[in-house]
Amino acid sequence: MAEPFRLSYTNVNPQIGSGGYRPLLPIKLSRGSISLETNGLVDSGSSLCVVPYQMGLDLGAVWNEQTISLSLAGNLAQLEARALLLEAKVNEFESVNLAFAWAKTDSVPVILGQTNFFMLFDVCFYRSQFQFEVRPKAQ
């Protein structure tokens, strides 16, 4: 079993003190020969993984070629989204395929949600310590 990768939370909004810290995970997303390094918000309350519109374009995706429409929920419910499969590399772990809702907006971060990030990785949050751990699921 792979050893967990422990990270510190990132303070994305210092004006609100400790409430501004978020579990952001460095991740490399690829589609074919194109790769981008970014940070994904590890969100156990999100049903889906989400990627913003420009990032999908930067990875070479074409909106009209993605034929599976998805419905987003919560404050993203009004947004149009399409299914987009990307290869993802976290730390030194083996690459995995992640299914994303490619949102037609750039006002969302990369979100790593239940389907299917949490199906492929075990995550432990240590919020009081501003830390979290990630490891691939046990085989």
Q: How many domains does the chain have?
A: 1
pLDDT above 80: residue 1: no
Q: How confident is the model at residue 16 (pLDDT cuts 50, 70, 90)?
A: very high
Domain that holds residue 113: 27-136
One DSSP character per residue, the chain reads -PPPEEEE-EES-GGGGGGGEE-EEEEEEEETTEEEEEEEEE-TT-SBEEE-HHHHHHTT--GGG---EEE--GGGTTSEEEEEEEEEE-TTSPPEEEEEEEES-SSS-EEE-TBTHHHHEEEEEEGGGTEEEEEEPP-
The pTM score is 0.95
Domain assignment present for residue 13? The answer is: no
Question: For 52-106, what is each residue's pLDDT tens digit?
Answer: 999 999 999 999 999 999 999 988 899 999 999 999 999 999 999 999 999 999 9
CATH number of the structural domain spanning residue 123: 2.40.70.10
